[in-house]
A and B are shown apart, each in its own frame.
Chain A
Amino acid sequence: MKQTINLTINGKSYSHEVEPRLLLIHYLREVVGLTGAHIGCETSICGACTVEVDGKAVKSCTMFAVQADGSKIVTVEGLAANGSYHPVQQAFWDEHGAQCGFCTPGMIMTVKQILERNPSPTEQEIREGLEGNICRCTGYQHIVNAVKAAAAKMGA
């Protein structure tokens, strides 16, 4: 019944036997112990569970762990390096992009991808890029500011 999966998460190799129906988000949170990504809707709408799978931002609440076999995953916990935050994390702090913080890890992973695809987005492009992530606290304005600030820093 159980299947073995081998994958890399935040640069570390993991091998586990998992049930085929185990969702990737539950695997990350409860098997690996990385609780940064959150479950907000279970329907791919809110984006709180967003992680990077093989370079693409993916909603891990609607992907099975077995589907991630052999892939490279990056979660919010894997972004800070050498004692300093990723520019997107830093920008969320500087610009007050988080209030309750529940959507924040998913937001940060989405914003990382927005900027990888388009290093200097317009405000409208930023807002469209955030379409798949719901924040109920900020009204998005400080998140938009954070994306702009991160873009400026990463482009510099």
Chain B
Amino acid sequence: MATTTTKTEPLIGKRIKRREDPRLITGTATYVDDIQMPGMHHAAIVRSPHAAAKILGINVKPALDLPGVVAVFTGEDTKDVGPVPCGASLPGLRVPHHYILARDRVYFVGHPVAVVVATDRYIARDAADLVEVDYEPLPAVADPEKALAPGAPAVHPEWPDNVAFTYHQEGGDPDKAFAEADVVVKQRIVSQRLIPSAMETRGVVADWRPGDKALTVYDSTQIPHLLRTLLAGALGIPENRVRVVAPEVGGGFGSKLNVYAEDILMGFVAMRIGKPVKWIESRRENFMCTIHGRGHVDYYEIAAKRDGTVLGMKLKLIQDLGAYHQLLTPAIPTLSVLMMPGLYRFKNIKADIVGVFTNCVPTDAYRGAGRPEATHGVERMMDILAAELNMDPAEIRLRNFPEPEEFPFATATGLTYDSGDYAAPLKKALEIIDYPRLRAEQRLARDAGRLMGIGISTYGEICAFGPSPATPAGGWESATVKIEPSGKVTVMTGASPHGQGEETTFAQIAADELGVSIDDVLVLHGDTSVVQYGIGTFGSRATAVGGTAVYFALQELKEKIKRFGAMLLESDDVSVTNGQCICNRTGNAKTLAEIAGASYRAMKLPPNTQPGLVSTYFWEPPNFAFPFGAHIVVTEVDRETGDITIKRYVAVDDCGRIINPLLVAGQVHGGVVQGIGQALCEQAVYDENGQLITGEFTDYAAPRASRVPWIETDHTVTPSPVNPLGVKGVGEAGTIGASPAVVNSVVDALKPLGVRHIDMPMTPEKIWRIINKGTNA
């Protein structure tokens, strides 16, 4: 029966339970590794154990001789496939040719050298160990500063200085600002390499249909459409014969915003063996071969007046790129430069980036992607300046924010901050935590010999990526909204969520605009055969850009509904409300189902109107959106062990208008804990030979439930003028705000010992050494 339930209560702003959860809580969702196909083969990859080596020879025969093995491919077989694409361009960028399998040389531990294909997962794994590779190990370099030193091993022999690019940006008159300053503070700040560690590793199932010359790839990706375009190019298949499906995706955090050698390789294998093939990344491979994040060594200087007014900032940024450029690798540190003024009135800036090759897996976008590094830097520097001037860290921040009436606010780095009241979340957080009382408590604690710290960060971020001229692949997002003949509503979004909950939030938007029950709305995504072209989910963009595309598609659709409604109701004054089209004069109404039925049956059409009720909208954002907020962290450091306990964590975020507070809280919690992870325990460690020491969860310290605090969340709401929903984005906010707040808190705790700065991660061992030697880390 054609029915659509009407409703009157708006859903935007409500705590709506997620539509996607029933399949997740019952274990019936389909992730890549859950896909089985008749005749499906399994692939295992032979990887380099060396960070740098020449390949003198490969003997695949022992592997091929194992019963069940159907093929082994090496770099010689795949030399005409690919390369692995880099989508970022910078003037003078050196781009090494990135073969999908190594040819005569390997450049990092885990570098793919050969692929073994077998009828069974276990046999493929056995056979991978039987491939004999003759290596001549070479000197390697894993540290970006060492890689820049004269005489360092060359990662790529054609570029002996290991410099992939340099980048300079200047705004205002930084030299004048520094010359006129009362005070200049300097600090070297490290944002260590991190491993994104989505709980689902990467995985690919590739299925080649020789009769159709068509390839279907199921891939754990954040960007199915971009992957399709780039896969088609790398494999030499017409794009319209490639279908990419992102099934249930078990987290990404930027690590699946990429095109990897294995994505292309599985397409190649499927085409060569004529059977479906599955490759599931092991956790060890995930840590070795999926991109890492961060990897900065930053040298900051800020200039200020005696009263704490900031004048200028200089930054020398050394970015550890790893051995290759993945999709966005060289672009990530340029985001740090854009964000370097933070929320403050730095009118004069100068930044120099050096992108450095190392014999490590490439770095690329990881939750925040350049912005956490920048925020960590500016927020540490504001505290260092406050300490230098003997000012309160809250006071120095309040002194340097632009006023609400100064928006849109032009930064020295060329951005235009959309809207903001930057003091508001800080004031709210100070009130929640009762700052004066807390400082009094701290004085008593210090008198009693306890190491208690209070840390503040006031962060901003560039979100809602973004205006197309400022993005590598187009920054718009698309949506199709379709009213089915029965009146049910289907939304197809080019955003490709993987845990964020857009099946719920986009349904809220559609239900409100049409006035139907959320149960009548279904949101589809992630399949390039189902969804019109799209960009994907990353950079806190899905709701701000993808949700806005849904909104505009709905506006167009409502106009069409009104044309049919006007015809059926014989009225020229109609509106769409409560799942009906109503004549505003008579009150007569036609349900959405009646209108949809008439539009598809098409016995009669309104003038200049096509049958059907479908609208597609590609929305191009005129600007980024800029969320902001304030985090305050109270810590206590154990003098005996160096262990840090987070006693309180208050996060006041302003992400514009909130569609679903339950989901926003989830994003903030998760983001904050990833930031706490960076501050306290996470670090990708390579030894001097380029061996990854933190190669498993046994050695890489991802935060556990017992080690993270209760997070008290609150909000201020400053709608963004950039989009009609007024939303700004919240996916990365927690991560960006957290690490400086935690470090500032611990530095504050150790202030009585003369500590001025600590680099992350602040492990108990590091803190114990600082306490016992009284030196800075």
Residues of chain A touching chain B, judged by Cβ–Cβ distance below 8 Å, are 19, 21-22, 26, 29-30, 34-43, 45-46, 48, 75-77, 79-80, 85, 89-90, 92-94, 96, 98-105, 108, 123-124, 126-128, 130-131, 133-144
Contacts and interface: CB of A to CB of B under 8 A. Distances in A.
Contacts of A89: 25-26
Chain A to chain B: the 6 pairs with minimum beta-carbon distance, closest first: A36-B27, A102-B250, A100-B499, A101-B24, A139-B673, A139-B669
B250 A21 contact: no
A43 B698 contact: yes
Contacts of A43: 283, 696-698
Interface in B647-676: 662-663, 665-666, 669-674
A134 to B, nearest CB: 5
A85 to B, nearest CB: 7
B200 A100 contact: yes
A100 B663 contact: no
A31 B18 CA distance: 31
Contact of B31 (A102, A130, A141, A142): A102
B666 A96 contact: yes
A145 to B, nearest CB: 10
Given A40-B283, A135-B199, A140-B673, A96 B662 contact: yes
B282 interface: yes
A138 B33 CA distance: 22
Contacts of A104: 24-25
B500 interface: yes
B41 to A, nearest CB: 14
B674 to A, nearest CB: 7
Contacts of B672: 139
Contacts of A138: 666, 669-670, 673
Contacts of B666: 96, 99, 137-138, 142
Most interface-central of B25, B34, B200, B499 (chain A CB within 10 A): B25
A42 B710 CA distance: 30
Contact of A101 (B20, B121, B703, B711): B20
A101 B705 contact: no
Contacts, number: 175
B619 interface: no
B407 interface: no
A98 B25 contact: yes
A136 B198 contact: yes
Contact of B122 (A21, A29, A75, A90): A21
A29 B283 CA distance: 18
Interface in B405-433: none
Contacts of B249: 100
A131 to B, nearest CB: 5
B200 A123 contact: no
B705 A38 contact: no
Given A38-B250, A134-B702, 5 more contacts: A46-B199, A96-B17, A96-B663, A124-B706, A139-B670
B677 to A, nearest CB: 9
A142 B251 contact: no
B26 A85 contact: yes
11 contacts: A35-B27, A41-B696, A46-B697, A100-B498, A105-B27, A130-B705, A136-B670, A136-B702, A138-B673, A139-B708, A143-B705
Contacts of B18: 93, 96, 98
B609 interface: no
A102 B670 contact: no
A63 to B, nearest CB: 16
Given A42-B282, A101-B499, A137-B670, A144 B197 contact: no
Contacts of A133: 705
Given A102-B31, A135-B199, A140 B708 contact: yes
B501 interface: yes
Contact of B28 (A36, A48, A135): A36
Contacts of B702: 134, 136
Most interface-central of A26, A43, A136, A144 (chain B CB within 10 A): A136
Interface in B557-603: none
Contact of A134 (B704, B710, B711): B704
Given A100-B499, A136-B702, A92 B21 contact: yes
B248 interface: yes
A92 B663 contact: no
B675 to A, nearest CB: 10
B542 to A, nearest CB: 13
Contact of B199 (A35, A102, A142, A143): A102
Given A102-B251, A139-B669, A92 B25 contact: yes
A35 B282 CA distance: 17
Contacts of B24: 98, 101, 104
B499 to A, nearest CB: 3
A92 B23 CA distance: 12
B241 to A, nearest CB: 29
Contacts of A75: 27
B22 interface: yes
Interface in B1-33: 17-18, 20-31, 33
Nearest to B667: A99
B121 to A, nearest CB: 7
B459 interface: no
Interface string B189-219: 0000000011111000000000000000000
Contact of A136 (B29, B248, B253): B253
B27 A45 contact: no
Most interface-central of B251, B280, B498, B500 (chain A CB within 10 A): B251
Contacts of A76: 25-27
Nearest to A22: B122
A37 B663 contact: no
Contact of B121 (A26, A38, A126, A137): A26
Contacts of B501: 99
Nearest to A45: B697
Contacts of A142: 665-666, 669
Contacts of A79: 26
B34 A35 contact: yes
Nearest to B284: A42
A144 B711 CA distance: 12
A4 to B, nearest CB: 19
A136 B674 contact: yes
A25 B200 CA distance: 15
A45 B199 contact: no
Given A43-B698, A45-B697, A131 B283 contact: no
Contacts of A101: 20-21, 23-25, 29, 248, 250, 499
A10 to B, nearest CB: 11
Most interface-central of A37, A76, A104, A128 (chain B CB within 10 A): A104
Contacts of B200: 38, 40, 100, 102
A93 B666 CA distance: 13
A89 B671 CA distance: 24
